[in-house]
Amino acid sequence: FTELTHRVVYPELLQKDNQVDLATRNCLVSVRGYADPDRLVKIGDFGLARDVYKNDYYRKSGEGLLPVRWMPPESLTDGIFNKHSDVWAFGVLLWEIVTLGKQPYPAFSNQEVLQHISAGGRLLAPAEYNVMSECWRTEPTERPSFRCLQRTLGQLRESETFSQDERNGHVNQDYQEDGKTPLALV
C-alpha cells in the first residue's frame, strides 16, 4: 500500500491533479519476494485494460467510457474530477487489493452502482475499512491527503494488522520464462 501512495503523493505535492484511472487493472508490481522492500508499483492508464475489463466501465450519453465502480458521487453526478476523486478511487483500489482483486460492487450492474453510490452506498467492509472509508467521505475536502494516507498505511504495515504470514498469503506469483524472475499483476 505504501508503494502506491509514493506514486500519487508527488503530483499532490506539486498541487496537480492526477486524474488517472486508479484500479488494480492499471497497476504493475515488480517483486523479488513479497516482503522485499525494494518492490516497485507502476501506475499507468492502459488503454488495453478498457478492452479486457469492459464490465468495469460504463458509457454515459455523449461521454467516453467511465470507471463508475471507482468514481465518487461528485464525479458520477456532476462530472467533477480532481485530487479528491483520485483519493476515492485509491480507497476502492485498496479494497480491490485487500479482497484479492474482486470487482467492486460485484452483484451490481454499472447503472446500479451509479445509483448505489449516489444514494450513499459504499463497498462492504474488509478489515482495513477505516482507511478506505476516510477516502470515501462524501465531502471532498474531508478526504485525507495522500501524504496522510502514506503515513497511516505505513503505521498499519508496521502493526500486527499485517503480519508476515498474512502478507505472504495474499500474493499470486507468476514467473518469467527463466522460471526465476517473478512477475505479478495486482
Positions marked active-site: 21
Alpha-carbon distances, residue 150 vs 2, 3, 7, 90 (angstroms): 6, 8, 10, 12
Query: For residue 62, with 0-12 CB atoms within 10 Å meaning exposed, 13-18 middle and 19 or more buried, which class applies?
Result: exposed
- Joined together, the cell numbers standing for residue 95 give 479494497
User: Which residue, chain included where needed, has cell 517483486?
Assistant: 31
> How far apart (Å, rounded) are the C-alpha atoms in residues 36 and 20?
27
C-alpha pair distances (Å), 63 with each of 29, 67, 124, 170: 31, 12, 29, 37
Amino acid at 150: Q
